[in-house]
Amino acid sequence: MIKVARIGDTLFVTPVIRALREAFPHAKIHVIAHPKRMCVLFNNPDIDVLWGWGLWNRLVHFPRMGAYFDLVLVYGEDGRLLKLARKVGGLTVGFEQRDGALNRYLDLPVRKADTPLHAVDDRLQLLRAIGIPSRGKKLVYRVSREEGEWARAFMERYGDTLRIGFQVGGYPTKAYRDWPADHYVSLGRAILEDLKARIFLFGDRKDRRKAEYIRDGLGGRAVVLAGSTDLRKTGALISMCHAFVTTDTGPMHIAFALDVPTVAIFHCMHPGRLLGPVEDGGRHRVIQMEPPPGVECSRSLTMESVGSGEVWEALKDLLRGEGLI
């Protein structure tokens, strides 16, 4: 399988990989992924070999493989990926390309559904085209034993208390999907007034200033993790949270995969019904921002209209369902 993408898009193909493993239990399954995001597939029991789409592999190693694989599933519209699929695969399967000339690299160009599907169902279309049944839609992310022990020891420093994670940042190029810092502050104050809890502020280095602002707004009663952990440690720490509040980001999908009760806030440009949890057992809540009446959804609209009170009610509902309050 070739899927070179961000965190969420990479995790969306894990149900496909699981179905391949069920269909071909003795096969060798290789996955080529983004070199900076392939770590979300570490410890996946359905993958035998994981490759990064780095310069050396792309220019030297992969071209030397020849027709090594019986079947190649290729996702995306990058001509380089499609050429690689043709070079190393016997049967190459991918979606029909907008640039029709690229379809020559595919033995089976699959036409996408006419109506929008959930992201997982969309990826599963390639399997249906070759007669392989789905084996469930839940995302797969595995925390290793060592990562789990590290995260447990880290959290033990803060005592026996509810651990609530806030993912405070998102994609720099899609900042319209971010929830305002002051809304996080208001939500945090409501939590700390009602519950014995500790709040952990997740994000990367660019989000650290926002996280520090939120921490200061909570009187220092939050732990800033933004920019201080790598992606694998972030996943391990998310697994230790009793609940997680997030916008549409990679860590959101990790939380879904780990079954951490999650309140996910979606911008109107990105429907939660297509990108949110699947097979979640009711452990997550989706809040969909909608444009004002008579206003067309666009990137110029911010997430400010989703109030902290609405998120707090959803979070309390989750915690009650888990028997935590």
Which among 156, 72, 131 is positioned nearest to 106, based on CA atoms?
72
Mean pLDDT within 152-176: 92
For residue range 233-243, list pLDDT tens digits in order.
999 999 999 99
Largest CA distance in the chain: 63
CATH number of 2-129: 3.40.50.2000
DSSP 133: P
Domains 2-129 and 145-321 share a fold: yes
**Phi and psi angles of residue 161, each rounded to the nearest 5 degrees, phi first:** -150, 160
> Distance between CA atoms of 139 and 253, rounded to whole angstroms?
8
Domains in the chain: boundaries: 2-129, 145-321
pLDDT tens, residue by residue, 217-273: 999 999 999 999 999 999 999 999 999 999 999 999 999 999 999 999 999 999 999
pTM of the model: 0.95
Condensed to tens digits (0 to 9), the pLDDT of residues 57-83 reads 887 888 787 778 999 999 999 999 999
- Reported CATH class of domain 145-321: alpha beta
pLDDT of residue 272: 95
Q: Are 226 and 196 in contact (CB under 8 A)?
A: no
